[in-house]
Structure 1
Amino acid sequence: MLSLNNVTMKFGGVVAVNQFSATIEEGTIVGLIGPNGAGKTTIFNMITGVYKPTEGSIRYVEGKKDLEVSHLRPDQIAKAGVCRTFQNIRLFKDMTVLENVFIGNHLRLKSNIFEASLRFPRYVRQEKAFYEKALYLLQKVGLEAEKDELAHSLPYGKQRRLEIARALATDPQVLLLDEPAAGMNPQETQDLMRFIAEIQKEFNLTVFLIEHHMDVVMGICEKILVLDHGILIAEGNPSEIQNNPKVIEAYLGVD
């Protein structure tokens, strides 16, 4: 569903990502790993329109849809079907859990501001549908009981789930997760692994994730890409990556 071809990102004289090429197949869970500063989040930022690649192309293919997304705005890319979460949680912390998910629906809003202000019937119908959809998503991620609580009052693990629920409200086909297990304890990490596998099947998603927790990556990813200093040094299944000399050298160095 995603195809990155010789993608390069330069910041002045610094090459953050160099000639990166990869294919993310439909319906898979793919991991992107590498040491700190390897350029992983930069790749996510290019896919989602935060950065425009210096060179190369990024294509999103879904059914008859075939888009070059390299030069689209983030909102256009999200509307096409590619959504993400962030390494540092970015919830609307002073809004309720339900309101956070409700806002994710607005990408699909067909009414204009005039209809919304005067509460025309079409807007009221959409508002009701969005409310029911938000409740459904909260039920799926186990947060229905907390729907009226403020987002900042949730424990860390539940805030991660809420951010994913908000992303799901945009109706994505491809979900990008940037270090979803960051800051979690071992039990929360195990719960997250099950949760990602469940939503991937439930919503028929293609999942591309960055993660430093090797238990998560090796436990749920079918394919793993390894980045070092902005260069793709290996790709393969978990067993192949665990035994790849280049990967071992990148993480542990050589004697």
Structure 2
Amino acid sequence: MLKIDNVTMKFGGVVAVNGFNCYIENGQVVGLIGPNGAGKTTIFNVVTGVYKPTEGEIIFDPEGKEEKISKLRPDQIAKLGICRTFQNIRLFKELSVVENVFIGSHLRLKSNVFSSIIRLPKYNNEERQMMEKAFYLLEKVGLYEEKNEKAFSLPYGKQRRLEIARALATEPKLLLLDEPAAGMNPQETQELMEFIAEIKEEFDLTIFLIEHHMEVVMGICEKILVLDHGTLISQGSPQEIQNDERVIEAYLGVE
């Protein structure tokens, strides 16, 4: 589904990512781990079009139609089926829960601006379908009862679910989760793991995630990539990664 081919990202003289290669197959849950400052979020920003890579290519191929996406804008990449959440939750906090999810559906809106201004029947029909979709997604993520509450009033764990629901409203094929368990207690973390497994099956998703909670990574990922100082130092199954001396050294150092 996704191939990152020899991608390098430089900021002036600083090399944040150096010759990164990986591929993600359809239906996989792939984890990206590494010490703080390793370049993990930079890779997410390159994949989603926030940054244009200095070198290399990114190819998205969800349905047998290869698309080179390295030079596309974030909105164009999202329309192809790649969406993300953020390490620091980015909700429209003063809007209601359902309005946050409703906004995500606008990416698939077919009516033009003129239709929306004068409220043509076609636009009204689309808007009604978008609201029904928002209610459906809130049911799936367990937030339907809070649909009219302000987003900022939700507990932290539910705000995470809301951000994921908004991402699902864009109808992604590949969902990128940037530290979804950050700030969660053990019970919330366990619930999140179960939730990610559920939405993967329910919405037929491929998932690429960054996470520092090793129990999450080891518990739900089929393949793990390890980044250190912008360079891929290891990849493999959870068992292989746990026993890789290079990974242990990157995290714990050596005497």
- Report TM bin, short chain: over 0.9
**2:64, 2:20 → 1: CA distance?**
25
Aligned residue for 2:239, secondary structure, equals helix
CA deviations 1:74-126 (Å, max 9, x no partner) are: 00000000000000000000000000000000000001111111111110110
TM-superposed deviation, 1:136: 0.4
Number of aligned residue pairs: give it: 255
Residue number in structure 2 paired with 1:127: 127
The secondary structure found in structure 1 opposite 2:52 is coil
Q: Any gaps of 5 or more consecutive residues in structure 1? A: none
Question: Cα distance, 1:64 vs. partner?
Answer: 3.4
Give per-residue Cα distances to partners, 1:14-53, cap 9 Å, x unaligned.
0000000000110010000000000000000000000000
Question: Which residue is equivalent to 1:51?
Answer: 51
| Partner residue, 2:141 | 141
**Which residue of structure 1 aligns with residue 170 of structure 2?**
170
After TM superposition, the structure 1 = structure 2 runs for residues 10-25 of structure 1, keeping only pairs within 5 Å, are 10-25=10-25
CA distance in 2 between partners of 1:63 and 1:158 (Å): 32
**Paired residue type of 1:49:** G
In 1, Cα distance between equivalents of 2:62 and 2:43: 20
The aligned counterpart of 1:229 is 229
- Matched residue, 2:4: 4
Unaligned runs of 5+ in 2: none
State the alpha-carbon separation in 1 of the partners of residues 65 and 134 from structure 2: 27
Task: Tell me how far apart the structure 2 counterparts of residues 205 and 239 of structure 1 sit (CA, whole Å).
Answer: 24
Letter in 2 for 1:233: I
1:165-215 deviation line (CA, Å, top 9, x unaligned): 000000000000000000001100000000000000100000000000000
Runs of 4+ in 1 over 4 A off after TM superposition: none
Partner Cα separation in structure 1 for residue 65 and residue 101 of structure 2: 27
TM-score normalized by the length of structure 1: 0.99
Partner of 2:226, secondary structure, is: strand
Partner residue of 2:241? 241
In the aligned structure 2, how far is the partner of 1:84 from the partner of 1:65?
21
Alpha-carbon distance in 2 for matches of 1:50, 1:202: 28
1:42-191 equivalences in 2 (<5 Å): 42-191=42-191
Quote the offset at 1:234 in angstroms: 0.3
* Mapped partners of 2:254, 2:198: distance in 1: 39
CA distance in 1, matches of 2:41, 2:224: 15
Identity of aligned residues (%): 72
Residues 204-252 of structure 1 show CA distances to partners (whole Å, capped at 9, x for unaligned) of 0000000000000000000000000000000000000000000000000
Letter in 2 for 1:242: Q
CA distance in 1, matches of 2:144, 2:150: 13
Distance 1:77 1:65 in 2: 14
Tell me, what secondary structure is at the counterpart of 1:36? coil
What residue is the counterpart of 1:250 in the other structure?
Answer: 250
